[in-house]
Amino acid sequence: MQNKILLLFFVLASFTVQSQIVTSKKEAVKKGVYAPPAEKKPQVSATTAQPNTKTPATVTSAKPVAVTKPKVTAKPKKKRTVVVDEDNGSDLVIGPTENYLSVQMINNAMDFLGVHYRGGGTSRAGMDCSGMVTAVFNIFGMKLPRSSWEMAKVGEKIDPADAKKGDLVFFRTNGKSTINHVGMVIENDGEDITFIHSSTKKGVIISSTKEPYYKRTLAQANRVIM
């Protein structure tokens, strides 16, 4: 019996030494007899996650603006008007035996002065001798053969001394018997014929049969306008 009492004493004493009196959770943690459970972070599920309220800006490509080029309307070519000198200046005085149409044709021929020579040309861009005569007659709606030697067959052949304003004078300047140059009479005093023509070197100019070259090569005169 005594031995049982002693054994119970030792058991109680042992239990008293090993047990610790804990009065708070903080003290238990400090003594190492209690560890607080790890805090579990709340899991956010895909269904509960809040969507991003910021929507990306929509980038729209600007549509190209069609640029309409203004239509360029070609200006209608103006027809060359007939130059009519109704004042009858001193250089174009119409005598009693002169033809009014011839005087006006000379007036238009004078408007071509300074145009450059161009073989086969009949415009202000350039004209040869028969081309100048053709251009003047075309203004008045009259047609002539294109070459000078063919023109020499048209109208009435007259004595060059009797040539009047508007008559045609023909030359052989190539050293041959064939007519190859033509001009239009501006004035004739009986000894000297002044005429307008297109020369190969100077274009449309006024020349005279007093010049040795044209005096030597003068072939004939024709009256086309009666």
pLDDT, one tens digit per residue, over 26-81 is 665 666 655 655 555 555 444 444 545 454 444 444 555 555 555 545 555 555 54
Of the candidates 155, 149, 153, 159, the residue with the CA atom closest to the CA atom of residue 129: 149
Tokens 């002044």 correspond to 194
The alpha helices in the chain, defined as continuous H runs, are 2-18, 25-31, 100-110, 129-139, 148-151, 212-217
Of the residues 181, 188, 204, 219, which is catalytic?
Answer: 181
Active site residue 129: yes
Predicted TM-score of the model (pTM) = 0.60
Measured between alpha carbons, how far is 156 from 3 in angstroms, rounded to an integer?
184
- Asked if 197 is an active-site residue, the reply is yes
pLDDT at 211 over 90: yes
Of 165, 172, 197, 223, which is the active-site residue? Answer: 197
- Supply the DSSP string of 107-120, one letter for each residue: HHHHTTTTPPP-TT
What is the average pLDDT across 180-188?
97
Pick the more confident residue, 149 or 88.
149
Q: Which CATH architecture has domain 99-223?
A: Alpha-Beta Complex (3.90)
Residues 137 and 153: their CA atoms lie apart, in Å, by: 16
Q: Which of 105, 110, 129, 133 is catalytic?
A: 129
